[in-house]
A = this chain, B = another copy of it.
Amino acid sequence: MIDTTTALELVLKHGTLNTDFFEVDLKDALDYVVAKDVVSRIDMPPFRQSAMDGYALHVHDDFTYTVVGEVQAGDHNDPTLRKGEAVRIFTGAPVPTSANTVVMQERVTLDGNKIIVEGSPKVNMNIRPKAEQIKAGGIAIHKGTTIKGGHIGFLASLGLTKITVSKKPSVAIVVTGNELVAPGMPLSYGEIYESNGAMLRAVLNELGYKNTSVVTIRDDYDTTKNVLSDTLGKYDVVVVTGGVSVGDYDFVGKAFKAIGVQEIFYKVKQKPGKPLFFGKKEETSIFGLPGNPAAALSCFYIYVYPLLKKYEGAEHMNLPTISLPLLSDYTVKGTQAQFLKARIEGAGVRILGGQSSAMVQAFGDANALVCLPVNSMEIKKGQNVKTLLLPTK
């Protein structure tokens, strides 16, 4: 059985790196990964910009200046200031080429068409230099960046309306289990409601992956083989939940073999998610996740999400990670690596109750996963632990 580090390395090594890209309108670019460096066509700011409401002037030996005009934001004029002259100027307005400072209006006494400045103004105050943020030809956003709201603001400020982004992977979720009944239907003894499909689809959606499908199948070898065979050709990533444990009625592993899925690994020294399967067929990556919802979701965040980001060529493939002190002692059962639903609060991280593989409600309170290495045994309050940040809002 391999360890969690090796498992993630193998996923990222064998995961397909897609090379398809396309142009997207900036307004629709959220969550996409930039496929080519985005280059600015302009200096930003494009001119020396006043950072304050006040007076632009060329510093001379006297405290008094004559106000000879004004420049508002959006004005196109560039008045030439002679010695002892100033112009009224507003935030965002172009600072006249002949001025070398802007004095805040709070530091000025107005006397008719003259101003008296407090003390001797320093040169280059309250001026945002031309190209302070970026020069024309400079790289605004590097290839591999996942686009967030702030990036859209920055790119719009450079006048861009489209960017080139990587294609996102399509994801099929195949849910297996004779015990599963669709929500809304009546439940007989021995049956439970199917929840992995809806959950994984919602999480994929939350993370920006909209091209998804869910199929539910019974534990039947032929059906499993046929559905998987059909799905492999149509999707970039196939996530099967259930049917991968050691039980006699697990047809998934047999079906994988029969349709030519190459096993990269099966079983990882971890809890939850020991019977994790990862394989490839041509360019399609195939995960076999545990059927228990909480185990499936943990494995999704830790292994499937990085694979999706690799497909897109993202620089950061894992969820953001931070080392945080535990807020109370924790005793690990067993020797496997642990992924524990947790909540970041105050100045540390608290491991939540309800860690059983079947219990997904702890994910409601969770905003993090604490990752403990093998043989962790006793972790003391205050000890730092590796903490993955779940998508937060």
Q: Report the interface size for chain A: residues with CB under 8 A from the other chain.
A: 115
The reply to whether A297 and B153 contact each other, CB–CB distance below 8 Å, is yes
User: How does the 8 Å CB contact mask read for A140-152 relative to B, with 1 for contact and 0 for none?
Assistant: 1100011011111
The reply to whether B149 and A190 contact each other, CB–CB distance below 8 Å, is no
- Nearest CB of chain B from residue A259's CB, rounded to whole Å: 23
| The stretch of A13-21, A226-234, A320-328, A332-340 that contacts the partner chain | A320-328
Asked, given contacts A26-B198, A247-B91, whether A208 binds B323 with beta carbons under 8 Å apart, the answer is no
User: How does the 8 Å CB contact mask read for A30-56 relative to B, with 1 for contact and 0 for none?
Assistant: 110000000000101111010101000
The reply to whether B189 and A94 contact each other, CB–CB distance below 8 Å, is yes
Q: A residues within 8 Å of B by Cβ?
A: 26-27, 29-31, 42, 44-47, 49, 51, 53, 71-78, 88, 90-94, 105, 128, 132-134, 140-141, 145-146, 148-161, 177-181, 183-185, 187-203, 205-208, 218-219, 245-249, 291, 293, 297, 319-320, 322-324, 344-347, 354, 356-364, 366-367, 384, 389, 391-393
Instruction: Name 5 A/B residue pairs within 8 A (Cβ), A-sorted.
Output: A74-B218, A153-B202, A153-B293, A320-B344, A324-B347
The reply to whether B359 and A190 contact each other, CB–CB distance below 8 Å, is no
The reply to whether A53 and B192 contact each other, CB–CB distance below 8 Å, is no
Name the residue of chain B whose CB is nearest to the CB of A187.
B46
* 8 tightest A-B CB contacts, nearest first: A150-B363, A74-B178, A153-B199, A149-B203, A156-B195, A74-B179, A157-B195, A323-B347
Query: Residue A148 contacts which of B72, B201, B364 (CB distance < 8 angstroms)?
Result: B364
CA distance A233 to B128 in the complex (A): 38
The reply to whether A148 and B363 contact each other, CB–CB distance below 8 Å, is yes
- Nearest CB of chain B from residue A296's CB, rounded to whole Å: 8
Interfacial chain B residues near A291, Cβ < 8 Å: 91-92
Interfacial chain B residues near A140, Cβ < 8 Å: 361
- Nearest CB of chain B from residue A205's CB, rounded to whole Å: 6
CA distance A196 to B149 in the complex (A): 10
